[in-house]
Structure 1
Amino acid sequence: MTDNLIEATRIVPSSEASGRHWEWQYLDLMRRIWEQGDERVDRTGVGTRSVFGATIRFDLSGGLMPLLTTKRVYWKTASREMLWFLTGDTNIRSLCAQGVEIWTDWPLDRYRKATGAEIARADFSRRIVEDEAFAAEWGDLGPVYGKQWVDWPVYEPAGEGLYKKRGQGVNQVAQVIESLRTNPGSRRHIIEGWNVAELDAMALPPCHKTYQFHVADGRLSCILYQRSCDLGLGFAFNMWSLALLTRMFAQQCNLEPGEAVWMGGDVHLYLNHASLVEEQLSRQPSGEARLDIVRRPDSIFDYRIEDFAVSGYAPQAHIAAPVAV
């Protein structure tokens, strides 16, 4: 097969083919949902407009990263969350200690309902950090994301129809790294978070649930299937985290970065995000961000926030909006 034929068969993102900024994929989707989406009552009671089935592609070549430019995205916060996932930890204490409050609202809501206390989030987070016993009682989220990624529980027969939990579960992340190195052509490079048996024990069932990696021409790509996506607030973090994980895996496996492909199931905008939507749709995307991973750790589990350096990112102002819990 000639090089020309190889290039001809490569899937080219629509934004790349047209010369448009990649972010127009996001803004076009936002407009379509807001103007044409199905209005529905959701779990939170806030209400959404949604569409079912959407795809956004981003080419990671040359260190490029999918940071939205029409509003500021706090990429370090998203990166700290991803590093936390890779530890398998399920308690928010280490996140709060870093000033990351992505997950605080769920334990806080549980604490308020259980105790009747009207504690402020800042005070709750501070107590989580300072009081280990309090954090153990109120800061755990159940077996969310990272727990499934690196310690998926396995049960073995114990006799008389009973089963016992094996001490160490399946480390899907380590398995995928190994399979990418030894069998790159496999179609089984998958990390799955949707453990049906443990969904009820999770503070929130996984939204970004399935990651599948693919190697072609020495480039590593990853598809993320996300069952539910808050396009106004959550997507920016989800897209960055997908790209970051792909870059980390590529470095560990001596591969070049390929594409980050995001696929959404129920993709929605909350009805109380009207000001966010209107403001963001009034802006024009411009510029591009690049990520340099300044150190190659010995393992996928040894990255630190100091290993990531972003350049060329000049976003427009942050747009605040409420989180629906």
Structure 2
Amino acid sequence: MKSDQEPVPETHFETQYLELMRRIWLEGDERRDRTGIGTRSVFGAMLRFDLSDGAMPLITTKRVYWKTATRELLWFLTGDTNIRPLVLQGVKIWNEWPHAKYVEQTGDEISLDDFVQRIADDEHFAAMWGDLGPVYGKQWVDWPTFQPVKGGLFRKGRGINQVAEVVESLQENPGSRRHIIEGWNVADVPRMALPPCHKTYQFHVSEGSDGKARLNGLLYQRSCDVALGLPFNLWSAALLQRMLAQQAGLEPGEFVWMGGDTHLYLNHEHLVKEQLSREPQGHPRLEILRRPATIFDYRIEDFAVHDYTPHEPIKAPVAV
């Protein structure tokens, strides 16, 4: 007997992101925070995305500058912690923290734009004031180690490249439960401009229905600004997973995002209301145009995004 019912439409991948935003804004606990702005927050959230066939969790209800997020990820993989390479590429997302530190320590009320221009123009000034401390990239590719020497002293040992070790373990021991990249180095946290928000990555190899080995990834984020930060975090984590999959000869599988303190800032009300009024559109796909020799050799030109037709961007201030 033929059914007269219409087929149930497939839920857009972005719907879960918008539902999380709506739940936080309507039901979240209003809290004070270190910035003094205040947030509405929930604790413990999860989103899941299928990365097969090139699919990516690239938010469409506002434009996300995926090339900016990609340049940041590639910068992490260099292990650099100074903002100058980002500034020279026009990437602005880390500028506020060293600027605030400079103003506080020197009393010079230089504007943010003038500070950033000086970082670009003066390599010596950038070396003094552009460093963020041992943030993400430092921990990812050069986790510090120390070796005991005589007299109860220690000397610096060879740093641990967690990313390279994960690529190797995916290739040689795919069934391992130790495919982990960790950013939260307790000893180094006090020296960081901002302790890592997207702190723990774990990867898992499974067999798909087609018999091919697939790489699944999970990101645990201790603190998440859902309006401004999460769209970047979703793209970057999924991109890292895609790059690792390519390097290990695996198909991309599922990407799971988990948030601890998952919040919206109170001064982002206009953004939240505008974004929630929009409908997701399109299904963005990522094409990686070449397979470089190592995961550290990708360039921005290696990535192409197809079928991305987002709504207009929505501007909002960054809480520092």
Instruction: Indicate the residue corresponding to 2:135 in structure 1.
Output: 144
- Work out which of the residue numbers 130, 146, 149 in structure 1 matches 2:121: 130
Segments of structure 1 that go 5 or more residues without pairing to the other structure are: 1-16
Instruction: Indicate the residue corresponding to 1:4 in structure 2.
Output: none
Distance 1:125 1:159 in 2: 45
Instruction: Indicate the residue corresponding to 1:223 in structure 2.
Output: 218
Instruction: Indicate the residue corresponding to 1:119 in structure 2.
Output: 110
Q: Shift of residue 135 of structure 1? A: 0.4
Distance 1:118 1:312 in 2: 44
- Work out which of the residue numbers 297, 309, 313 in structure 2 matches 1:302: 297
Q: Shift of residue 175 of structure 1? A: 0.4
1:169-228: CA deviation from partner (whole Å, max 9, x where unpaired): 000000000000000000000000000001000000000000000000100010000000
Q: Does 1:263 align with 2:258?
A: yes
Q: Does 1:188 align with 2:178?
A: yes
Distance 2:114 2:304 in 1: 32
Q: Does 1:170 align with 2:160?
A: yes
Q: Shift of residue 159 of structure 1? A: 1.6
Distance 1:199 1:158 in 2: 25
Distance 1:63 1:32 in 2: 29
Q: TM-score, normalised by structure 1?
A: 0.94
Q: TM-score, normalised by structure 2?
A: 0.95
Instruction: Indicate the residue corresponding to 2:91 in structure 1.
Output: 100
Q: Does 1:199 align with 2:193?
A: no
CA RMSD of aligned residues (A): 0.9
Provide the aligned length of Structure 1 versus Structure 2.
308
Instruction: Indicate the residue corresponding to 1:321 in structure 2.
Output: 316
Segments of structure 2 that go 5 or more residues without pairing to the other structure are: 1-7, 208-212
Q: Shift of residue 163 of structure 1? A: 1.0
Q: Does 1:214 align with 2:166?
A: no
Distance 1:260 1:253 in 2: 16
5 Å-filtered alignment, 1:83-98, equals 83-98=74-89
Percent identical: 69
| Equivalent position SS for 2:216 | strand
Distance 1:124 1:74 in 2: 23
Q: Shift of residue 83 of structure 1? A: 0.1
| Equivalent position SS for 1:156 | strand
Distance 2:86 2:133 in 1: 15
1:86-128: CA deviation from partner (whole Å, max 9, x where unpaired): 0000000000000001111000001111122222222211111
| Equivalent position SS for 2:187 | helix
Instruction: Indicate the residue corresponding to 2:275 in structure 1.
Output: 280
Which has the higher mean CA deviation after the structures are superposed, 123-132 or 92-101? 123-132
Distance 1:221 1:118 in 2: 47
